[in-house]
Amino acid sequence: MRTPSRFPALAPGLALFGALAGGPAGAQTAAPVALTVQVNKPGAAVNKNMYGLFFEDINFAADGGLYPELVKNKSFETDAALIGWKALQGAANLDAYAVRNEQGVSATNKHYVRLTTRAGAPGEAGLENEGFRGMGVKAGAEYTLSFYARRGPGSVGGLTAVIVGEKGQALATAPVTGFTDQWQKYTVVLKATGTLNKASLKLVLNGTGTVDLDVISLFPKDTWKGRPNGLRTDLVQLLKDMQPGFLRFPGGCIVEGRTLSERYQWKETIGDVAARMPLINRWNMEFKHRSTPDYYQSFGLGFYEYFQLAEDIGAEPLPILNVGMACQFNSGELAPMGTASTKGGPNAEGAGAPGADPSLDVFIQDALDLVEFANGPASSPWGAKRAAMGHPAPFNLKMIGIGNEQWGPQYLERYEPFAKAVKAKYPSMEIVSSAGPSPDGELFDKASKRLGELKAEYVDEHYYALPDWFRQHADRYDKYPRTGPKIFAGEYAAQSVAIGSPDNKNTWDCAISEAAFMTGLERNADVVGMASYAPLLANVDAWQWTPDMIWFDNLNSYGSPSYYVQKMYALNKGTNVLPVTMPGGAKNGTDNLFASAVADDKAGDVVVKLVNYSSSPRAVKINLAGAKKLGKTGRAQVMASADLQTQNSLKEPQKLAPQQSTFAVSGTTLSYTLAPNSFTVLRVAGKK
C-alpha cells in the first residue's frame, strides 16, 4: 500500500557457516571482544509495559483467526449477501434461494435466507457454508450450532446439521426439529468424530416447502476461558506467553477505513453479537495480488472482547480511534472541523446521520464515550452497557491513540482539539499521537516538532524497511532529545524484499535485524516507552500482508522467528537500563555486534542482550562492573541459525526458537562465545 522510501541493498548473502558455536568460551583464534556493563550505574527505568502487541484485523486475523466463529457471513448482511454460502446440490433442488429483508430477526439484522424445496426433487436440499477457507474441527471436540428459523408453507419441520469433510464424509450430525411460523432460536451441539482443517457445514432441510433461516453460527466450545463468544485458545496462548505490556487495537489502517463511512466505529461492535452488523474489511481488495473479496468484519470480536482479551493476557488496553480522517493512502476523506457537517446540515441535523459526513465533534464524542464505556461506573450510560455485557468492574483504561498512521496539517489540526477535549474530561488519560507512516522526512519532522510543542505524551513511529535498515538504525534513539514526548515504536517489521511485497518472508535475517534494532530501543528506555511488531496475525490461506508475527491455519499456529525475538525481549525487559561500553566507542553495532543490558531488580538479575550478526562465532568477555556478588552460573537463551533465511512453518513450528543453557561466571567476569548469526540473552543472578 505504500511506496518504500528507499531500496537499500538486500541483506548480504552470508555463507552457511558450520554448526552453531554458542556457549561458554572455548578455544578462539580471535581475541574476545571486551564489553563492560556498569551494574553499579543503573540508568532509566524500563516501562513495565514496554513490549506489547499490535492487533489489526488484517490477514483474517479476527474472523477466520482469533475469533473462532466457523460460519462466514452468518447473518446474510454482507454486501453480496450470499458470500460463503451455496445451495446444496445446485439450485435444481431449491425453488427459491433468496435473501430477503422483510420481517427479519431484528431491526438491524434485516436479511435472512429463504429456502423453498420442491416435492419429489432428488437429493438433499438446503445450504452449505464454506467457513473461512474451510472450518477447522477436532476429533472429540464439541461445536455449538445455533440459528433462527421460521417455517413457511409446506412441511419443513426441521433440518439435519452435518459437519462434513472434503470428500463428503460426515464428521458430526444432529437433527433439529420443531420449526414454527415465528422466528425462534434453535441450538444443538455437534461432536466431531474426526479432525479436519477444511470441513464445512451443511444444513439439510427435512420436508418440503419454505423455511427462513438467519444468524447461523457454529462455534467451538473450546474457547479461551470456555467463554461462549470466546477466542481461539492456541492463538491467545501464544499472545499471553509473550507477557505483553499492552494490546493496541483495532489497528492499523482498519481504524481509518478507505472512506469515512467504512471507518471503524466502536459503538457498532458492542452489545448483542447477533445484532452487530458486518462491515467491509478495508484490506478486502487493497492488494490486487492478494485480493480477498469475501473479507468482512463481523465484529464478533468487538471492543468489549478486545478489552477482555487485554485483561486476560495482562496487557494494558490501547484503543486507537479515528481522528476524523479516512486512510490517506485511499480516499483521505476528512471530517469537517468542529460541529460543521458537509452533508446533512449543521450538527443537530447532520452529524452522524446516514449520508452525512460527521463532524470532528462526533469523533471526539465517540472517544469520550469510549472512556466511559471502559472506566465509567455501571450507573453511567456507557458503563452500564459494559456491565450489561458481563463486566461491571472498569477495564481501567489509561491510554488512547488519536488517529492511526495519519500525517500532514489535516492531522495536526484535528489532533489538537481532539486531545484537548480528552484531557479536559480525563486529565490522566495518556494520549498516543501519530508521526505518520515514515520514520523520517519533512512530514515526519514537522509532525514530531508540532507534537512536541503540543506536549504529546507518546508519538507513534512506524518503520517497515529492509533488514539492513534495522541494523543500521540501532542507534536511532541514542540521538533523540531527552525531553519531549516519549516514543511509541508502534509498528515495525523488517521486510525481506520490500514494503508490501507478497514475497516478504519471516526469515531469521529479518528477526535478528529487529533484535539488533531493539538493543537501541532498550538502551534508550528513557525515550522509548512502548514498542510493538506489526502486523500480529496471519491466516496462511487468506493473508494480504507479509511478514507477520504469528501464522495459523484453521487448526494450528506458530510463532515466526520475530515472535521469539519479541518474546525474549518482553520476558527479559528488566527494570532499569545498564550502560554498556564496547570497543570502538560506546556506539553499538560495531562490527555487527549489538548489545544492551538491564538490571532486573525484581528477580535480582543482570541481563545482557547480544546480537552477533556475523557468520563467524564471536567470543565476548563481559565485565559486570560494580556487581557485588554474582552467581557462579548464569542462564543463556539463544536463537541462532547459520542460515539467515531460516523460517518457521506449520510443519516445523519451532525450527528456530530460543534454546536454554547455562554458563559459568568467574568473579565479575563472564566469558561467552556467541554463535554465528545469533541473538543471546544472558542472565546472571547478582543484583541482590
Among 395, 545, 552, 679, binds ligand AHR (CB under 6 A): 545
Identify which range of 30-38, 249-257, 313-321, 426-434 contacts ligand AHR by CB under 6 A: 249-257
Among 534, 599, 607, 640, binds ligand AHR (CB under 6 A): 534
Nearer residue to ligand AHR within complex by CB, 306 or 594: 306
Among 68, 319, 437, 634, binds ligand AHR (CB under 6 A): 437
Q: Identify the CA nearest to 595 among candidates 582, 576, 585.
A: 582
Identify which range of 75-83, 245-253, 408-416, 660-668 contacts ligand AHR by CB under 6 A: 245-253
Residues 516 and 502: their CA atoms lie apart, in Å, by 24
* Cβ-based neighbour number of residue 414 at 10 Å: 23
Q: Is 372 in the site for ligand AHR (CB under 6 A)?
A: no
Residues 313 and 1: their CA atoms lie apart, in Å, by 31
Handedness of CA 104, 106, 112, 118 (dihedral sign): negative
Report, in Å, the least distance between residue 545 CB and ligand AHR: 5
Q: Is 251 in the site for ligand AHR (CB under 6 A)?
A: yes
Residues 422 and 418: their CA atoms lie apart, in Å, by 6
Q: Which residues of 444-575 form beta strands (DSSP E)?
A: 458-465, 486-494, 528-533, 537-539, 550-552, 557-559
The C-alpha cell that represents 539 in the structure block: 491466516
Report, in Å, the least distance between residue 549 CB and ligand AHR: 11
Report, in Å, the least distance between residue 681 CB and ligand AHR: 27
Q: Is 253 in the site for ligand AHR (CB under 6 A)?
A: yes
Query: How many residues at the interface with ligand AHR, by CB under 6 A?
Result: 12
Q: Is 514 in the site for ligand AHR (CB under 6 A)?
A: no
Q: Is 491 in the site for ligand AHR (CB under 6 A)?
A: yes
Q: Is 460 in the site for ligand AHR (CB under 6 A)?
A: no
DSSP of 12-27, one letter per residue? P-PPP-SS---EE---
Report, in Å, the least distance between residue 491 CB and ligand AHR: 5
Report, in Å, the least distance between residue 235 CB and ligand AHR: 17
All residues at 6 or more sequence positions from 66 whose CB lies less than 8 Å from its CB, including other chains:
55, 231, 232, 235, 236, 301, 537
The answer to whether 132 and 60 are in contact (CB under 8 A) is yes
- Establish whether the linkage from the previous residue to 252 is cis, with ω within 30° of 0: yes
Nearer residue to ligand AHR within complex by CB, 437 or 529: 437
Catalytic residue status for 442: no
The answer to whether 501 and 1 are in contact (CB under 8 A) is no
Beta-bridged to residue 54, according to DSSP, are: 248
Helix axes 442-453, 408-425, angle to 10 degrees: 20
Q: Is 60 in the site for ligand AHR (CB under 6 A)?
A: no
Residues 515 and 512: their CA atoms lie apart, in Å, by 5
Q: Is 548 in the site for ligand AHR (CB under 6 A)?
A: no
The C-alpha cell that represents 483 in the structure block: 525531553
Of these residues, 372, 405, 461, 514, which one is catalytic? 405
Identify which range of 139-147, 216-224, 250-258, 346-354 contacts ligand AHR by CB under 6 A: 250-258
Q: Is 304 in the site for ligand AHR (CB under 6 A)?
A: no
Nearer residue to ligand AHR within complex by CB, 128 or 286: 286
Q: Is 56 in the site for ligand AHR (CB under 6 A)?
A: yes
Q: Is 535 in the site for ligand AHR (CB under 6 A)?
A: yes
The answer to whether 335 and 324 are in contact (CB under 8 A) is yes
The residue assigned the cell 512530514 is 443
Report, in Å, the least distance between residue 74 CB and ligand AHR: 26
Report, in Å, the least distance between residue 40 CB and ligand AHR: 41
DSSP secondary structure code for residue 336 in this structure: P
The answer to whether 265 and 363 are in contact (CB under 8 A) is no
Q: Which residues of 271-292 are buried (b: 16+ CB within 10 A; e: fewer)?
A: bebbbbbbbbbbbbebeeebeb
Report, in Å, the least distance between residue 1 CB and ligand AHR: 6
Report, in Å, the least distance between residue 402 CB and ligand AHR: 14
Identify which range of 14-22, 143-151, 246-254, 438-446 contacts ligand AHR by CB under 6 A: 246-254
The answer to whether 156 and 179 are in contact (CB under 8 A) is yes
Site string for ligand AHR, 111-150 (x = CB under 6 A): ----------------------------------------
Among 84, 104, 252, 401, binds ligand AHR (CB under 6 A): 252
Identify which range of 24-32, 198-206, 248-256, 680-688 contacts ligand AHR by CB under 6 A: 248-256
> Hey, which residues are catalytic here?
405
Binding site for ligand AHR (CB under 6 A): 56, 58, 251-253, 404-405, 437, 491, 534-535, 545
